[in-house]
Amino acid sequence: GNTYLYRPSREDIMAAADDLPTYKDVADAAAVLAGVAHHTPTETSRTLDDQLGVSCFVKCENMQRMGAFKFRGAYTAVNHYLNDTDGKELKGVLTYSSGNHAQAIALASTKTLGIPSTIIMPTDAPTLKLKATQEYGGNVVFYDRYTEKRDEVAQKVKGTLPEGTVFIPPYNHKYVIAGQGTVGKELIEDLQSKSIALDYVFVCVGGGGLISGISLAVKELSPKTQIIGVEPEAGNDAQQSLEQGQIVHIETPKTIADGAQTQHLGNLTFDIMQRNVSKIITVTDEQLVDEMKFFGERMKMIVEPTGCLGLAGLRKLVSSGEIEKGANCGVIISGGNVDLERYCKLISSTI
């Protein structure tokens, strides 16, 4: 696809009015989420360790409420506005998302906290994610992700909503990033309580909210751990951005990893990633399907394609000899929301 330099739109500037989050914001988010979000398990598999020759620790955000890590950031952000709108009442929440953030905002805002939510979703969003968003009480507005710019759609829709509606983007937002960072805080602290120090942690990359948040926690609690991002080969905008030292914008990538079909990083996520992420690697859709099969067969988990990026990335670097034998490797499963019919098609076909 053609790449061009990214100029933040008004919507992004609105979203990023807050300064960069720090580890303190992640710790605050953990307190907000205690008893609300699940403290998800970290799983291991002897088969996996034997195959790879490393010790692998898999953080299962597919077990999170609504089936993905996104609940953490959504709840943290909505909670922030509920308690801090400078005396103005929070009347509603607006966002855009292809799925997991949509569900997360609907569940956190409308179902849990009783605040109306409007979610702009692409016409080709996975049916499961659309249905769940509507079930949680989200009001869905559709757009065509291949011909329309979602920032522009968001501006139009915002004009029709009541004063006191806040826009909470999927990743480029101080409190969203802080909430996602609690995934890393839990993983590192759970392992440290067993005297295990991670050498690497592999995280999927879409807009960078998860990896930037996790990196804040990891750099604070386990500074020697290297953070490696994994993107679909078809949509390697983060890899290009870190190589060029500026945010690169790409066309919507065609990949089965619908959670990583982002066109660009955010200015906040990019800033944090530049400082904390060791490198970004890419994997193919075929490699994602292999890991979906592995998780299903060997670890008895349904993992969506995007959720397989981390393990596919680790396996790739083990094969190329870049990860030393016996290393302690963290792998984040970002989510498990995939239509079962589509899941069965993917794992039974060779792409």
Return the HEC string of 78-129.
Answer: HHHHHHCCCCCCCCEEEEECCCHHHHHHHHHHHHHCCCCEEEEEECCCCHHH
Rounded to 5°, the CA angle 16-18-22 comes to 110
* Average per-residue pLDDT for the chain: 92
Q: So what's the pLDDT on residue 87?
A: 61
CA nearest to 273, candidates 174, 197, 207? 207
pLDDT more than 90, % of the chain: 84
Q: So what's the pLDDT on residue 349?
A: 77
- Window from 7-11, 83-87, 181-185, 344-348 with minimum mean pLDDT: 7-11
Hunting for tokens 């290009």 — which residue is that? 240
pTM over 0.75: yes
- Window from 31-40, 111-120, 146-155 with minimum mean pLDDT: 146-155
Residue 300: pLDDT over 90: yes
Residue 170: pLDDT over 70: yes
Q: Is 98 a catalytic residue?
A: yes
Residue 37: pLDDT over 50: yes
Residue 59: pLDDT over 60: yes
Altogether, the residues listed in the chain come to a count of: 351
**Candidate list 70, 129, 174, 316, residue with the active-site label:** 70
- What's the DSSP call for residue 337? -
Q: So what's the pLDDT on residue 13?
A: 44
Q: So what's the pLDDT on residue 155?
A: 93
Residue 10: pLDDT over 50: no
Q: Is 70 a catalytic residue?
A: yes
Mean pLDDT value across residues 321-328? 98
Residue 225: pLDDT over 70: yes
CA nearest to 126, candidates 349, 351, 347, 335? 335
Residue 1: pLDDT over 50: no
Amino acid at 65: R
- Window from 46-50, 81-85, 266-270 with minimum mean pLDDT: 81-85
Hunting for tokens 């807050």 — which residue is that? 18
Q: So what's the pLDDT on residue 6?
A: 46
Mean pLDDT value across residues 98-111? 92
Q: So what's the pLDDT on residue 86?
A: 65
| Contact yes or no for 75/69 (Cβ under 8 A) | no
Residue 267: pLDDT over 60: yes
**Candidate list 98, 109, 212, 215, residue with the active-site label:** 98
Q: So what's the pLDDT on residue 350?
A: 61
CB atoms within 10 A of CB 302: 16
